[in-house]
Each structure stands twice: as C-alpha cells, then as structure tokens.
Chains A and B, each alone.
Chain A
Amino acid sequence: MNRRRTLALVVAAGLATAGGLAIRGSRSHAADHLDPPARTDPASSMAADRNADIADLFAWHRGTGTSQSLVMVLSYAGPVAPSPTQAVPCDRDVLYSIHIDNTGDALPEHTITARFATDSTNRNCFVRWEGLPGVSGAQIAPVEHQRTYGAVQTFVGLRDDAFFFDLQGFRETLAMAGTAPAGMGVRMTSDRDFFAGKNSSAIVVEVPVSAVQGMGTTTLKVWATTSRIGS
C-alpha cells in the first residue's frame, strides 16, 4: 500500500507539472470539457460558447456478427451541477456532428448531424437527425425520448457526465507547481471525482457496424465537431 501510494504521488507530481507547462493560463483540463478555453470556458471568455462546448466523445463496438453495433456518445454543455429545471440547451444555431471514416484517410464516409429547435410553444425541444447510417432523409424527435429508425437507435438528453477525473486535485497541484517541494504539492487522489454528481447533455447513437464499415476492413475512425452559424 505504501508503495502504491508513493507511485501515485510521484506520477501525480509529474502530471501537475505537466499541466502547468502545457496549459499556461488556462484553468481547466479535462477530456475536452471547456476546451478550447478561449471559446468555451466561462473563466477564459465572457462570450464562452457553452452550448457548443464538446465535453467528451466515446465510441465503442459491442456484440458480434450481424448484431455487432457501434455506439457513439457525444456529450456537451457540461459539466454542470444539477438544478431542478435543468434541460438540454435547445440552441438552433449550433450544428453537432459525429464523423466516421472507414477507409483510413481520416475523411468521413458518414457524418451524423444533430440540430435543435423548439416548436411554436418555444418550450418543446426537438432534435433533427441527418446522415444516420442506413436511414434515409431527416428524422425529427423530441429530446429526452429514445427513438429507433430501422436498426439505428438515437437519444438526446441531459445525463450524468460520464467522465471521472480528479480535476480539483489537478487544479490544486497546478496552483502549487514549482513552489512546493517535490511530493508536497500533490493533491490528486483516486477517491475524488470532480465530475461526480454533475450532468452534461448527451447525443447517443447506436448503429449496426455493417452500416458504417468499409469493404474488406474492420477499422473505423470516429471524431466529433461542433459549429455555430456564421454571422
């Protein structure tokens, strides 16, 4: 146990210094939450674009054979502490995209886009999907409601932020970097999770692997982008 703890401290110290060097002036560091800071971190910019801030991207395959599927999770606008009236942002000016390359050139063969808007009540929020693999045309669904189109499952809603990381300890170590003796400034621990109890909005899409995979290859590249309408 002592040895394990020592290892943790050493590496944590390294990470702290690393962060200090790498981040320079930006307070936050996570999977992609609040990055790029100049655009999406309220601490860095009064005009931070929270709705278009990608929090995280997950993508994995599951199942086997013809039932094998690819799950993609794009979380955004988080992390936020819960509040009773919290809901997914319904920002019609943001385009959320998940890109899939199946040839290895990092150019997308499939791009799934999600747009959001309200109806005439200005309250009921909907997502409009385009580019769902194997699904023709656009599909409109209310947020917070799972929808299946053929073999494709979709969902958008406010969820638990799935990331786990001691961001608080990381920030504390940053504050001490270079001022404390080695080992004394380490504040990261494995029992403190900054993202615990916090929410993000999430786009979740599950598609058959057969709908996105290229001929004669089993490799895929997945990435996500957000964009705001030009002005």
Chain B
Amino acid sequence: MKEREIKMNRNYWILSAVVSASAFVVGCSSDPAPAQDAAVATDVQATDAPAADAPATDAPAPTDVPVATDVPAPTDVPVATDVPAPTDVPAPTDVPVATDAGVSASCLAYCTQTMMNCTGANAQYADMNECNAYCTQAMWPAGMTGDTSGNTLGCRVYHGGSPAMGDPGTHCPHAGPSGGGVCGNVNFRNDPPTMFRRVDRMGMPAVSTALVGSARKNAYNDADPAGDMAFAGDFITTLTALHGALDDDFTQLGLAPCSMTTMINGLPSCLGQEYAPGRTVASLVVPNDVINIDTSVAAGFPNGRLLSDPVIDVTLGVLFLRLGSGTCGMGTCSATTLAGLPLNPPRNDVAFLTTFPYLAPAHR
C-alpha cells in the first residue's frame, strides 16, 4: 500500500504526509481482539437459567431420545449451556473434529442431515455449500455422540436428527451455527442500550466532519438529530470563514460563489439557496443531520445516498457555488457542477454488486 501510494504521489516533497497516512492504515488494520471483560454487574449471562434439553437418558443412541423432553430455548436470550455431558456416554468414535483441509466426513454428515431436516423458516444454512463451509471453519469440538448440550458437533448432530424431525422449530436452531443457546452459547451482552455510551453518529456524509469545529465534535456526536439546531451556528461560522477565504478565488476563475452575507429564505444565501425546487441547502443538515429519503422520488443523493453517489463533489458544490443563477464555466452553477468535472474520483475502485449485500467483497 505504501509503495502504491508513493507511486501515485506526484509530489515527493510531501512524502511525509503519505508516510503518516500509510502508518495510520497499517496501525488500524490489526485490532480484532474481542473485548472479554465480563465484569459488569448488569452483564447477565443467564447462568442460572434452567438448562434446556437436560439430558433425558443415558442412552447413547441419539435417535432414541424422546423429543418430548426437550424444552424450547428462548431465541432472544442465549441460555448458558455449560451443562455437563452425561459421563456414561461412550467415548466418541464417529464424530471426528472437523478439519480445515476440505470438508470432513463428519461435516458432510452433519450438513446432509441439517439440510434435510431444517428447511423453510427453520433453515440454518442457505445451502449445502454454506453449511459445509461453516462447519469446516467453525471447528467445533467433536463432543460425544448424542450430546444434548454443549458447543460440539455431536450436540448439533443430535438435535438436527430425530429431534429436528419431530420439532424443527425448537431443534433446528440448536443444530445451527450458534447452537441456539443449547449447543453453544454466544456471549452477547444483554445490557439495555441505555447502558452504552455514545461514541459516534452519522447522517449526511462529511458535513459534520467538515463544518463542526474540533472543540464541539464530541458534543455533536453525543447529540441526537432532533437537537441539531443547536449546531446551526457552528455550520454558519465555519462556512462563513471558508467563503471569506475563497470567494475571490472562485470569482477570479469563473466559478460564481454563493454569499454568506446576503440572505435567501431567511438564511445566509449559501444555506438558503435551493439545490432543487423547494429544497434549501440548509435543509440537508438543519434541523437534522440525517439522510432524508422520499420514497416517491427517484433515489440519488441527496434524496437518500446510493453507494455510487459522488457525495463529496455534490456537497462542495452546493455549499460553495451560487446555484441556479451563478455562472460556472460555460454553464449555470448547479449541485452537479463539481461532480461533472469531476473534482474527486467519480466512482468506486471496484464495482458494487447489483444484489444484496451490494458492497463489493473485501480486498485480500
């Protein structure tokens, strides 16, 4: 990455900026560590919840376990699953650990059974391939044949067998990736949202990052859109300073700037001017910094934001140019004047997908 950036940089004297940018990228590319401090008092993990699927019998044959003994596990609150496996179950012989070298026989058997018994609303995987891939990379402990609980392949094979045939709504989640709180427990926090402290918020791209000064950035991110009128003054102050520094340059070079001293619609003209009939520039972020969408009108920034929209050029255009009446180059200034140049890259480096999830796959 560093080499590539340097290659693209046509101004080597500014190399230090490039190096620091690259250092940043490298520095933040390695923070996968999941926080595991479970010491918060409210972090209820339901360890005293009654164990669903308590071992019904000590019979080793999973297909003989009566379905009726299984209590449905709640789907929204993971249940602790550290129920000891029956100690008198024979040692595992037919459920080897899945390996990451191809698909193991045990994963194939598990997936064949799960795909057959868990279908429709109870499906755990989109298809056999997804199941095989997931089983392979999950590397669950083999467990015991007939395990009724615990994060093992054996438990999933048990629940995905005759129990799932008899009551798929209950048992298919147990056979699935998370184990449904029975064959494995995912250590989610159950704290209500009020127990979390705001870090970041976002509505419109770039606007608040550019127009809210550093002294008020944390306050802005702590606030909610309903209170954004409190920051209108910040926008005006910053934008006024920008125009004071730039308007003569714009004028000299044939781009008509909008004015922060004259008024339109009761606002400084740059904010009161309309980027579309009846829609002021100010309305893009005031009173609320949100993405506004009218589903009765075609999608495209600033009516919603598509992945492909050149939002920076459009945003700069509406904040700096005299829309609709000013002369920009050979034409009249508009919201798309800068995007038409374009000033910044006009599109993403890789193609977006036309279907869900739309974003291009990760670079590897």
A: which residues have CB within 8 A of B? Answer: 3-4, 6-15, 17-19, 21-32, 35-40, 42-43, 48-54, 56-62, 68, 70-71, 73, 75, 77, 79-87, 89-95, 97, 101, 105-107, 111, 113, 115-126, 128, 130, 137-142, 145-146, 153, 155, 157-160, 162-168, 171-172, 175-176, 182, 187-188, 190-199, 202, 204, 206, 209, 213, 218-230
Contacts and interface: CB of A to CB of B under 8 A. Distances in A.
B26 A7 contact: no
A213 B295 contact: yes
A137 B76 contact: yes
A111 B194 CA distance: 13
A60 B118 CA distance: 34
Contacts of B203: 57, 221-224
Interface centre among B40, B290, B342, B360, by most chain A C-beta atoms within 10 angstroms, is: B290
B272 interface: no
A88 B254 CA distance: 47
B29 A83 contact: yes
Contacts of A81: 1, 25-26, 29
Contacts of B289: 223
A175 B345 contact: no
Contacts of B364: 82, 84, 86
A221 B288 contact: yes
Contacts of A123: 139
A219 B293 contact: yes
B299 interface: yes
A204 to B, nearest CB: 4
B305 A60 contact: yes
Nearest to A88: B32
A28 B40 CA distance: 34
A140 B26 CA distance: 32
A168 B291 contact: no
Contacts of B130: 145
A21 B245 contact: yes
Contact of B199 (A7, A49, A176): A49
B344 interface: yes
Given A3-B329, A39-B221, A168-B18, A197 B178 contact: no
Contacts of B263: none
A193 B226 contact: no
Interface of B: 1, 4-5, 8-9, 11, 14, 17-18, 20-21, 24-37, 40, 75-78, 81, 126, 130, 134, 138-140, 151, 177-180, 184-189, 191, 193, 195-203, 205-206, 208-211, 213-214, 217-218, 220-221, 224-226, 228, 238, 241-242, 245-246, 249-250, 253-255, 287-296, 299-300, 304-307, 310-312, 316, 320, 328-330, 338, 341-350, 352, 356-364
A182 B33 CA distance: 46
Contacts of B310: 164
**6 A-B pairs closest in CB distance:** A227-B196, A196-B349, A138-B76, A160-B360, A159-B359, A36-B217
Given A22-B213, A121-B139, A198-B363, A160 B193 contact: no
Nearest to A5: B341
Contact of B214 (A8, A25, A229): A25
16 contacts: A13-B246, A17-B245, A18-B210, A79-B25, A81-B1, A92-B36, A105-B226, A106-B225, A117-B34, A122-B36, A139-B75, A153-B356, A157-B362, A164-B348, A204-B358, A228-B196
Contacts of A29: 206, 209-210
Nearest to A57: B202
A32 B356 contact: no
Nearest to A95: B196
Given A42-B28, A192-B8, A23 B347 contact: no
A43 B343 contact: no
A51 B31 contact: yes
B341 A190 contact: yes
Contacts of A128: 186, 188
A223 B225 contact: yes
A37 B217 contact: yes
B34 A229 contact: no
A22 to B, nearest CB: 5
Nearest to B26: A81
B34 A83 contact: no
B305 A229 contact: no
A36 B219 CA distance: 10
B40 A229 contact: yes
B226 A106 contact: yes
Contacts of B214: 23-26, 37-38
Nearest to B75: A137
A172 B14 contact: yes
A140 to B, nearest CB: 5
B91 to A, nearest CB: 21
Given A162-B359, A166-B344, A224 B177 contact: no
